[in-house]
Amino acid sequence: MKKINQYIIAAAIPLLGMLAACTDGNDWTVDSSAARQRTPDGLEAEVDETTLEIDLKWNKAAGATGYEVQISESPLSEGFDDTEGIPTFFSRENFWSIDRLNGLIEIKENTTYYVRVRALSETKSPSKWITDDITSGKFKVNTPPLLWIDDTGVGETTLTMKWHEIKYATPSVIINENTGELYDLGEEEKEAMTYTATGLNDGEEYTFILLDEEGNQIGKAIKSTEKAPNMELAREIMNLSGFVSGGTAVLTDEQFGDFVVTMNDQASKYKGENKDIRMISPTNVVGEKITHYRFNTNTKEMATPSHWDVEKGDYTKNYIKLSVPAKGRIYIYAYTGTAGRTMNVGYRVNEGGQISETVVWDGELDNNLKDNAKEGEAVNYIKVYADQPGDYFINCPVGAIYIYGFIFVPDE
């Protein structure tokens, strides 16, 4: 429970019992029931996995007028220890919450903390300290960091970071430690709890710090941008006009091997047409308007692993297969005319007629593209990293999608 003026109280520590103990003639090293306050028991500690707030509770001690709470990264003893310099809080109830940022100690993730509590009295000396009677006074704060960048947020020139909702602190500023630049978060970014840093160098490690409105550090994230591919190695299969009834296109490279696109049409569902469009290249440049062939899958169901026919040695449904000879990036130019339609890309392996699949990309497709698009309304690509050579299948489970072509860039 949050206390008003918690930190002022904690700093002042108006411990009347301690003052009394200095003048009542009691020996503080002796536990006398007549001269010393009874010891509380049943101390329990819990940690909120997202805010790192520590909640403590214990059983009331008869006659106590308050309780002293201490926390440390070093072990704390029971008994009558009065070591100075330990972060100390004062509670008039049999519970207390220690916020991550509290003015006395910063609670860090993945850190072991020790806590202890003793009862105070206006007429007796303080009781013995008690520690957590379940875990001998220590517990592990094992939570995800407050600020992080996962693999989905990594680009060649961008890094997208996220954070948890934080009690009693409002994220306000992001600092790029590499450059020293500060960015004031906007209201939309604060609400979405995410921020994307742009204009970064590819293949470079960056450190970002998240601050609250008071300038306190809330979180820290370290991540490297993706190393940009060597586009001189790019191989394009961007003209699908001959694939209305299915087909195979092969691009051979002596160094890396064949890049093969197989379009299999089992039910004469595919169709296509030429359209005037713009396209965004893998270097994020909007190209000139061009006339390009748009391939329409025109089917609500494409082949999944369950559609494999062992006797036939093929799938019973339509499929689009990209066979890559090495690790690298696959750029898929695809979009849909209907909001909410999705596409996924799965790496499939055939082991004795049993097909296994690992989905490597899954998400909604852009549906805002217009024919004869103006600059900024171009066909964008979906980038899929192939972390091993083999067969990657495109699946659109909720309706037709439009595909303009593919680019494969092997890693050097």
Decide if pLDDT at 27 tops 60: no
* pLDDT tens for each residue of 177-188: 999 999 999 999
pLDDT at 68 exceeding the cut of 90: yes
Q: What is the end-to-end Cα distance of the chain in Å, rounded?
A: 57
23-27, 83-87, 157-161, 164-168: which has the highest mean pLDDT? Answer: 157-161
What would the mean pLDDT of 316-325 be, rounded to a whole number?
Answer: 91
At 263 the pLDDT is 86
DSSP-assigned states of every residue in 96-139: EEE-SB-SS-BPPTTEEEEEEEEEE-SSSB---BEE-TTTTTEE
Q: How confident is the model at residue 267 (pLDDT cuts 50, 70, 90)?
A: low
Task: Give the pLDDT score at 349.
Answer: 95
pLDDT category at 117 given cuts 50, 70, 90 is very high
Structure confidence by residue, pLDDT tens digits, 345-372: 999 999 988 999 999 999 888 876 655 5
pLDDT of residue 10: 38
pLDDT of 159 strictly over 70: yes
Domains along the chain with CATH numbers: 6-141 (2.60.40.10), 147-224 (2.60.40.10), 231-410 (2.60.120)
Q: What is the average pLDDT score of the chain?
A: 80
pLDDT at 15: 37
Residue 130 has pLDDT above 60, yes or no: yes
Summarised one tens digit per residue, pLDDT across range 288-302 is: 777 778 777 776 678
pLDDT for the residue 390: 96
Check residue 140 and give its pLDDT.
Answer: 46
pLDDT in tens, 94-106: 999 888 777 788 8
